[in-house]
Amino acid sequence: MKTEDSTRATGGKIPSETTATRQKRLECIREAAFNIRSNALIQAEVQGQGYIGQALDIADVLAVLYADQLALRPDDPEWEGRDRCLLSIGHYALALYAALVEAKVLPAEELDTYASDDSRLPMSAMASYTPGVEISGGSLGHGLTIANGIAMGLKRKDNPAFVYNILSDGELNEGSTWEAAAVAGHHELDNLIAIVDFNDQQADGKSSGVLGMEPVDQKFETFGWIARRVDGHDLAALLTALEELQAGEAGKPRCLVVDTKLGKGVEFLETREKLHFMRVAPDEWAKAHQQLKESYEA
């Protein structure tokens, strides 16, 4: 997490750093990813169910953002100079709340209130409830349109902040997403970075079977975007791709497609048949935490 103003002009160069410094950053990100997954499980256990697979699959992306890339002020979530990270897929809230704990925007003890009465942490992320949550996501197909508006507003204010919009592969089935992609290209929103979580799963089955949208990265390029595609669990590749996109050609919005695995880090959840919304038995939580720890230590 970047806590101070930084000079991030589009079209700039990636700052050089030593191998040791790079490795130290990656170790911090890796630890953050483990913490995000662990805290996602802690929250889900409160209800015994939830969008657990998605939280585990997006943890590495959120760790790179919240532990390294985003310019934030933990004690001032409304700071005008902050980078905006929009969770269009509001049902991934388990992971976002855990990431906000890593960024010290939320206290860790509040995670025990997840989805409970009077909690600031509803099952689907809502800006009106939770500090650090930029939009009320969940109505899929709206996030990129909102991101466009924010990116336009920041440009008019000469604010150098980036707008990140995390959306799902299933969300690409919504026509409004592609209308927003066309608008972003037309208005040259080079302060916008869309991150597509491609886990090939939605409520009605595999995304590729419901309505195939491949090749996703090339489709964004036809709308005038710069696009990259990486393994969503390769921290070094994620970090490099985001840095390259930030420093990319001026006048073009940027897209990062990340290939991920639902339930990543907990082996018995990775292979569970019902992946979209999971129910976990009371005697399985300890096993989930143990497998997560083993995958981190491997």
Report yes or no on 5 lying in a domain.
Answer: no
pLDDT at 204: 84
Cα angle, residue 57 at apex, residues 189 and 27 outer, rounded to 5°: 85
- Check if the beta carbon of residue 105 is closer than 8 Å to that of residue 62: no
Using the predicted structure, report yes or no on whether residue 139 has a pLDDT greater than 90. no
Report yes or no on 7 lying in a domain.
Answer: no
Q: Cβ of 12: how many Cβ atoms within 10 Å?
A: 12
pLDDT at 293: 97
Report yes or no on 8 lying in a domain.
Answer: no
Average pLDDT taken over every residue of the chain: 93
Cis before 215? omega within 30:
yes
Least confidently predicted of 1-10, 12-21, 114-123, 248-257? 1-10
Give the whole-number percent of the chain exceeding pLDDT 70: 96
Report yes or no on 6 lying in a domain.
Answer: no
CA distances for 58 relative to 22, 117, 193, angstroms: 22, 26, 16
CATH classification of the domain holding 74: 3.40.50.970
Condensed to tens digits (0 to 9), the pLDDT of residues 89-103 reads 999 999 999 999 999
Q: Could you tell me which residues are beta bridge partners of residue 196? A: 167, 257
Least confidently predicted of 71-75, 230-234, 272-276, 282-286? 272-276
Query: What's the helix, strand, coil split of the chain in %, to 5?
Result: 45, 10, 40
4, amino acid identity:
E
Which residues, in sequence order, are CB contacts of 266 under 8 Å at separation 6+?
Answer: 37, 41, 56, 288, 291, 292, 295
Which tokens is 61 given?
Answer: 């992306």
Using the predicted structure, report yes or no on whether residue 41 has a pLDDT greater than 90. yes
Condensed to tens digits (0 to 9), the pLDDT of residues 165-206 reads 999 999 999 999 999 999 999 999 999 999 999 999 888 889
Strand arrangement of the beta sheet that strand 163-168 belongs to: 84-87, 163-168, 192-198, 254-259, 226-231
pLDDT at 128: 94
Using the predicted structure, report yes or no on whether residue 7 has a pLDDT greater than 60. no
Report yes or no on 223 lying in a domain.
Answer: yes
Burial of 164 (0-12, 13-18, 19+ CB in 10 A): buried
Structural domain containing residue 35 = 21-297
Report yes or no on 276 lying in a domain.
Answer: yes
Three-state secondary structure readout of 181-242? HHHHHHCCCCCEEEEEEECCCECCECHHHHHCCCCHHHHHHHCCCEEEEEECCCHHHHHHHH
Q: Which residues of 257-288 are buried (b: 16+ CB within 10 A; e: fewer)?
A: bbbbbbbbbbeebbeeeebbebebeeeeeeeb
Backbone phi, psi, residue 94, to 5°: -50, -45
d(CA 16, CA 37): 31
Report yes or no on 215 lying in a domain.
Answer: yes
- Check if the beta carbon of residue 137 is closer than 8 Å to that of residue 90: yes
Using the predicted structure, report yes or no on whether residue 2 has a pLDDT greater than 80. no
6 pLDDT tier (thresholds 50, 70, 90):
very low
Condensed to tens digits (0 to 9), the pLDDT of residues 215-253 reads 999 999 999 999 999 999 999 999 999 999 999 999 999
Domain count, the chain: 1
- Check if the beta carbon of residue 291 is closer than 8 Å to that of residue 268: yes
- Calculate helix-pair angle for 143-156, 175-186, nearest 10 degrees: 20
Using the predicted structure, report yes or no on whether residue 87 has a pLDDT greater than 50. yes
pTM of the model: 0.95
Backbone phi, psi, residue 76, to 5°: -145, 75
